[in-house]
A and B are shown apart, each in its own frame.
Chain A
Amino acid sequence: MSEHSVEIRELDLSFGAVEVLKGLNLDIHQGEFLVLLGSSGCGKSTLLNCIAGLLEVTDGQIFIGGENVTWAEPSQRGIGMVFQSYALYPQMTVEGNLSFGLKNQRMAKEEIAERVGRAAEILQIEPLLKRKPGALSGGQRQRVAIGRALVRDVDVFLFDEPLSNLDAKLRTDLRVELKRLHQQLGNTMIYVTHDQVEAMTLADRIAIMKDGAIQQLDAPKTIYAQPRNKYVAGFIGSPAMNFFEGKISGGTFTVSDMAMPLEGYDFEAPFEGAAWLGVRPEHVRTGDAAEGCAYQTEAQVDLVETMGADTLIWTNLAGAPFRIRVEGLTDYSAGDNVRIGIDPASASLFDAASENRL
């Protein structure tokens, strides 16, 4: 037995001349909640389908539970899968949906009844067992879909954007339930989404994908605080990170009239030359709090977006739009001057050429 629940080695997948996945490697620990995050077309769902065995890989290997399943049928891989569209069989009752896979395994009736009962209890769908999917709400359907994976009693759960079809409130509720389910079951879960909030809240580790390659594989905190490259930095965080293109020389970042000393920034290696500076809107300090920051300046407020719990202030800095997020409600309005302070320790710097973190 390997310590990894799922291992992907040098995975290639192409549709004709189009390479979707290129030499992809990924090790997923036992009991880990791994989220594959990326914008549409980045290959995250494709990767999930490869793991499930629904797509034939062009090259490379897939191991599940230490066994090479590259050529195995989906049903023999020890996985359960939940789809975005629920994919419930409309002509069968909820009970029929849950037991379909088990009947295909020619399992004994008592065993099927027991497993269906247990899954229904965990997901609290017992009163729905005799209904057809058409008579269920979106949230109930998704529960049944999860139940269908649950009854299979497998080690690995695959989720393909399971919450995307639900309304905002239900999505939040089911998200918490999923997290709880994971804590309760302790299975390995691989979860595909384009929603960064889902990714941040659910994941033990997030794999951010772009163009069929993993950009960064880390814990949510690390991804947020130390993005590996400019793509990851811009993708994670809402509102998005502010970027300035300038250059570093002698420990100072300069762009037009702005010169920011970089003391406190944790360089991976000393660097001089063209670079990107990234500052998260929520890391910008304003007013009196700006006191003591390594870099301080003033800017005029263009626009104020009030959201209740926080407020987004749009300004201009060094010739580029600059967003600042402040807690709670503020008295700033368009035309006011605001004092700004930036702490280099919380900023990110990227090589202008490779766009990798400095």
Chain B
Amino acid sequence: MVDTSASRLLDGPRGAKPKRSFSRANIFLYGTLITVSIYYLLPLYVMIVTSLKGMPEIRMGNIFAPPMEITFQPWVKAWAEACTGINCDGLSRGFWNSVQILVPSVVLSIAVASVNGYALARWKFKGSEVFFTILIIGAFIPYQTMLYPIVIMLREIGLMGDLGGLVLVHTVFGMPILTLLFRNYFTSIPEDLHKAARVDGAGFWGIYFRIMLPMSLPIFVVAMILQVTGIWNDFLFGVIYTKPETYPMTVQLNNIVNSVQGVKEYNVNMAATLLTGLVPLVIYFASGKLFVRGIAAGAVKG
């Protein structure tokens, strides 16, 4: 005897519980998010607006006001005309220096660290744990203590002041954290896969290139983000191990913004800073999608 009519229902709650969009929790949540966004976005807004104004307008003092007359002159000047020392070709020189430092440093450090991590995760040898521990300790030693010894070492091998020297320094300093990153990721790949590949006759490099690499896109993207932002934003190594002709963009930016002679051109400074920050920004936006896709691709269980 089953009664199918709706009359069996009693008064009171029925079905899905209704949700109020203006609940206290929601107001708190979105309120916090909006406040924090404003806190971070306001300076960026000021920078962009200021970089598009002419100097007379800036002197009027309304830093939050949008430009009355948009001018791209500050951007052009920052890129191609601003003077640092005797050079008056703007940030473009620093940009190309930074690219020449960045590309080999990122490629080299990720290539070496991924093989390191793979070997430490899957091909344990006598003393591999000790080696790994020493490498990790390296991540905790303050850079400052090593600055001068490295100057001497670079001088001895003839790379002091050379871009190659800086690439070497970036590669070495990226090693501890990247190796840790890759080791942990490769450890999380089931050991049975490694065993199966060995039974199938693949060797050290065969397994690395044909099994591990194709499964590791996400971690390579993470490593790339880390290295690109880290190396691009580096100031300390750049200022110490290069000379004025080979200064990276960050050092040059500092020299433009902090120059004590003449009038402070706020609009040029803002444009120069935005230009310098553009590369990490683009990397974040471009790889964000790749990152998610990479994780999704790697999520398939073998």
Interface of A toward B, CB cutoff 8 Å: 49, 52-54, 73-76, 79-81, 83-91, 100-101, 104-105, 132-134, 148, 152
Residues of A within 8 A of B195 (CB): 49, 52, 54, 74, 81, 83, 87
Complex formed: what's the CA distance from A104 to B203 in Å? 9
Complex formed: what's the CA distance from A252 to B206 in Å? 67
B302 touches A54 (CB 8 A): no
A69 to chain B, nearest CB (A): 13
A75 touches B201 (CB 8 A): yes
B140 to chain A, nearest CB (A): 28
15 additional A-B residue pairs with CB within 8 Å, beyond A74-B199, A79-B199, A89-B196: A52-B195, A53-B198, A75-B198, A75-B199, A81-B195, A83-B192, A85-B190, A88-B196, A88-B302, A89-B197, A90-B300, A91-B215, A100-B210, A104-B201, A148-B200
Complex formed: what's the CA distance from A215 to B137 in Å? 48
Residues of A within 8 A of B215 (CB): 90-91
Q: Given A52, A84, A88, A91, which contacts B199 in the complex, CB threshold below 8 Å?
A: A52
A159 to chain B, nearest CB (A): 12
Complex formed: what's the CA distance from A168 to B195 in Å? 27
B196 touches A134 (CB 8 A): no
B119 interface hit (Cβ, 8 Å):
no
B43 interface hit (Cβ, 8 Å):
no
Complex formed: what's the CA distance from A101 to B206 in Å? 11
B283 interface hit (Cβ, 8 Å):
no
B128 to chain A, nearest CB (A): 14
Q: From A106, which residue of chain B is reached at the shortest CB distance?
A: B201
Complex formed: what's the CA distance from A89 to B214 in Å? 10
B301 interface hit (Cβ, 8 Å):
yes
A241 to chain B, nearest CB (A): 35
B201 touches A101 (CB 8 A): yes
Interface of B toward A, CB cutoff 8 Å: 190, 192-193, 195-202, 206, 210-211, 214-215, 300-302
Complex formed: what's the CA distance from A134 to B199 in Å? 22
A246 to chain B, nearest CB (A): 48
Kindly count the residue-residue contacts between A and B in the assembled complex, taking CB atoms under 8 Å apart.
73
Residues of A within 8 A of B199 (CB): 52, 54, 74-75, 79-81, 101
B206 to chain A, nearest CB (A): 7
Complex formed: what's the CA distance from A53 to B199 in Å? 8
A84 touches B192 (CB 8 A): yes
Q: Given B198, B201, B211, B301, which contacts A54 in the complex, CB threshold below 8 Å?
A: B198
Q: From B193, which residue of chain A is reached at the shortest CB distance?
A: A87
A89 touches B302 (CB 8 A): yes
Residues of B within 8 A of A133 (CB): 300, 302
16 A-B pairs whose Cβ atoms sit less than 8 Å apart in the complex: A49-B195, A53-B198, A73-B201, A79-B199, A83-B196, A85-B192, A86-B192, A86-B302, A87-B195, A88-B302, A89-B302, A90-B301, A90-B302, A91-B215, A101-B200, A104-B206
Residues of A within 8 A of B211 (CB): 89
Q: From B190, which residue of chain A is reached at the shortest CB distance?
A: A85
Q: From A134, which residue of chain B is reached at the shortest CB distance?
A: B300
Complex formed: what's the CA distance from A104 to B201 in Å? 6
Residues of B within 8 A of A49 (CB): 195
A74 to chain B, nearest CB (A): 5
Complex formed: what's the CA distance from A64 to B163 in Å? 57
B206 touches A134 (CB 8 A): no
B122 to chain A, nearest CB (A): 12
A132 touches B300 (CB 8 A): yes
Q: From A79, which residue of chain B is reached at the shortest CB distance?
A: B199
